[in-house]
Structure 1
Amino acid sequence: MNPLPRSTPEAEGLTSIQINNFIADIAEMGKAGISQEVHSYMILRHGKVVGEGSFAPYQIETPHVLFSVSKSFTSMAIGIAQAEGLLHVDDLVSRYLSEDFPKEVSPYLAKLTLRHCLTMATGHQTDSLDAIRGSTKRWVKAVLKHPFDHEPGTRFIYNTGATYLLSAVIQKITGITLLEYLKPRLFEPLGITEAKWQLSPEGISTGGFGLSVSVESIAKLGQLLLQNGVWEGRQLIDPKWIADATSKQIENGDDPENDWTQGYGYQFWRCTFDAYRADGAFGQFIVVLPKEDMVVAINSGADDMGLILKKVWKHLLPNQATEPVLPAVECSYPPQVGMGFDHGINLDGSTFDLKRPHPLFSQVTFNAVDDRNLELVITKDGCTQPLRVGYGQWITQLIQTGEDIERLAVSGAWTKENELTVLVRYIETPYVGRMTFTFKKDTFALDHYWNVVFWERKLTHYTGKKI
């Protein structure tokens, strides 16, 4: 994987106290509940890793869904394609995607360029992501059909559909997906081998989301940006492209203290402290501080993304006043608290059908193993598989969900005599689900609470009946 070089904070002009206090602060934040957790982090100074870690059961080498950090990788692809003479940022989108344009092209749509897509200034009044989600197959058509209410280039409206158009342009020009295009040009030179990118129903990399890599891999992109596109003596990205992409290209607000109103570049956010970042939902970050020659890469499952950035600014900027040392912390998230599996109701061998299918199962069988291990045999869409639950421990496993393989860490406990709580961490994502089964005679009621979601956070009214 070509790991980044390691050093110590002191050797690179920081202090171990700063790193310790950052870790302690984000750990304390996570104690507030599953909706504000950092999963892994990596801190670079002068091109060397001076702090890194993950909170068990998460592992630093595990790929993590990036959400909109994917957009910044898409920006790099457009920059590479321009350097190769395949396109120019001021090209009209219609030059490449005309067959997907509506029959009646509005004057605003006719003016749409790649630059407008890069800067989130397409002229849409709203994010076209909902239009994409409502389109079963033709996402490009859906974005281009979404109303263009303003002159392109005149206002910032965050728009994931705009990034999807950029991915579609790369595929149209090259005949390969965005992921395949970036592999030899960016990922392989950086030693990134684990990259996966979700495809749309029309077979195009989703562009604005859907990329999964490890925290070290996103740290490498940050370091590449600091090095003006040079990696191991090879110019991977045009330095002018990096300068343009990470500079303010359009205004997006005027609050001087808000990290979401410092301006927007080509799929990068400007920050306070003259920094810039790639960021994705629920706390995925590549924070680049050029003046300090630093990169901070973070994966999370957090509602309040701004709070995480505040902790970066508070603890990690060089030349900070000496802070009092915070106590060292356990870098792990505890398993579900409660009583062991030899307490509570005897469910061994009991099978329940759900009246309404749960996202994970429509039927479940409970098998007692011992006081520290419980097995739920779950069935969904004709697929039956075991879900192993640990008491006082996380059990990491792979399960099939539809067409996907999910890596889970699962723990559980009896939280009342008739109440079984199972905590499921989808450890390659921000998501954590807490399932609470409340048993009464031959039935159960099931509530499912998500830590961070785009959908309904609390799913209720699932019921199961013993068969």
Structure 2
Amino acid sequence: MKRLLLCLGLAAAPFTAAAADAGRFDPARKAVEQGEFKAITSILVAQDGKVVYEHYFDAQGAQARRDTRSATKTVAGMLAGLAIADGHLPDASARVFDHLPPARRQNMQHPDPRKDAIRVEDLLTMSSLVECNDEQQFSRGNEERMYLIEDWVQFYVDLPVQGFPAWMPKPADSSRGRSFRYCTAGVTTLGEVIQTAVGEPLQAYAQRRLFDPLGITAPEWQLSPLGLAQAGGGLGLRTRDLWKLGQLYLDGGRVGGRQLVPATWVRQSLSPQASPREDADYGYLWWLMKVPDGDAVTIAPAMAGAGGNAVFLLPHKRAVVVITTTNYNERQPHALTFKLLTRDLIPAL
């Protein structure tokens, strides 16, 4: 589950937009059908709020709810913004333990004042001080260890504080003052923070405040063994649902003439908050990908999940691109998706 949405019904069979538009995307379709990008399951391209290309490469078609894997994390960031807008959380600086059941702190292993000071923003930017790193197999907080126990949130709460040996930059020495370490358990915990703050199950709040206004129906949530909706990954959404979520942020949080997510939250979410690597910055649970644009580089915010599943915002093209895959066991699946985007899809726009 490492790293990676207008309301129209579609038949389950493979669908392609009007031929006049679709022809521009023939090179992409042919490359996928010839296996160059392994197991791509769907592509949707929307420009100026309208679908200009849509194709399904598997038998499940348009109605299939795709496992978005870690693209779910971006949805958690949207819900955090809504919880703040609704007055359930003061702002992103809210302390996490002020909005978790008291037993979490009372039963904590490795108690530390620095853990008490963890804020919602730390979870949104993958930069809390506990030792949690999904990209390090020896990390105590690696998500694969979390799935072995019942209580996924307590798993995060019990983690010790990260140590910073001489060869590892301390947060104060890191870009934007944050030590980025990809941590699914932290976003899982953010889900319970939101749930506790709003006073209703996370999935019910998400449906009422986000999905219903967008016309997204019957999402398939993954649940923890204790019944918590997993904010950190696995949410099942249709390809058009993913487009609706991406279009919402491309449009500054507005849908149907209504401001659904505050514009200020959208701007904060799509602004660099941490710097995990040279080719990407990180916002509030959004990847900010650096995409070649002629002789320049443009920023493409992305929801991203394992296997190369992705929703890309292309502000310079006024476009949203959704790519779903089942490349979970392929080497560098995100690179395959990025190549499809930059070589075949962006030029067609």
TM-score band, normalised by the shorter chain? 0.7 to 0.9
Post-superposition CA distance 1:33-80 (Å, at most 9, x none): xxx210112110111001111113231221111110110111100000
Which residue, out of 28, 34, 49, partners 1:28? 34
Tell me if 1:89 matches 2:92. yes
Which residue, out of 2, 7, 11, partners 1:2? 7
User: Which 4+ residue blocks in structure 1 deviate beyond 4 angstroms?
Assistant: 4-10, 150-153
CA distance in 1, matches of 2:307, 2:348: 29
Matched to 2:189, the amino acid is L
Q: How does 1:47-66 map to 2 (within 5 A)?
A: 47-66=49-68
Tell me if 1:270 matches 2:288. yes
Tell me if 1:144 matches 2:144. no
Which residue of structure 1 aligns with residue 249 of structure 2?
A: 225
Matched to 1:141, the amino acid is Q
Tell me if 1:316 matches 2:329. no
Post-superposition CA distance 1:333-358 (Å, at most 9, x none): xxxxxxxxxxxxxxxxxxxxxxxxxx
Note the C-alpha offset of 1:194.
Answer: 2.3
Point out which structure has higher relative CO (alpha carbons under 8 A, 6+ apart). 2
Which residue of structure 1 aligns with residue 104 of structure 2?
A: 100
Question: Helix, strand or coil: the match of 2:53?
Answer: strand
Number of aligned residue pairs = 305
Matched to 2:241, the amino acid is S
- Does the CA contact (< 8 Å) of 1:63 and 1:194 recur in 2? no
Structure 1: 5+ residue runs without aligned partners? 255-260, 321-467
Question: Helix, strand or coil: the match of 1:295?
Answer: strand
Which residue, out of 209, 220, 235, partners 2:233? 209
Which residue of structure 2 aligns with residue 442 of structure 1?
A: none
CA distance in 2, matches of 1:180, 1:79: 16
Question: Helix, strand or coil: the match of 2:34?
Answer: helix
Which residue, out of 76, 79, 84, partners 1:74? 76
Q: How does 1:105-120 map to 2 (within 5 A)?
A: 105-120=111-126
CA distance in 2, matches of 1:182, 1:314: 35
Post-superposition CA distance 1:62-108 (Å, at most 9, x none): 11111101101111000000111111210111111242131552233
CA distance in 2, matches of 1:154, 1:271: 18
Which residue, out of 296, 299, 310, partners 2:324? 299
What is the aligned-residue identity percentage? 28
Matched to 1:308, the amino acid is T
Question: Helix, strand or coil: the match of 2:321?
Answer: strand
Post-superposition CA distance 1:445-464 (Å, at most 9, x none): xxxxxxxxxxxxxxxxxxxx
Post-superposition CA distance 1:298-317 (Å, at most 9, x none): 21111222112111111222
TM-score (ref. length: structure 2): 0.81
Greater C-alpha radius of gyration: 1
TM-score (ref. length: structure 1): 0.62
Structure holding more strand per residue: 1
CA distance in 2, matches of 1:311, 1:9: 20
Note the C-alpha offset of 1:233.
Answer: 1.2
- Does the CA contact (< 8 Å) of 1:131 and 1:146 recur in 2? no
- Does the CA contact (< 8 Å) of 1:4 and 1:220 recur in 2? no
CA distance in 1, matches of 2:319, 2:343: 14
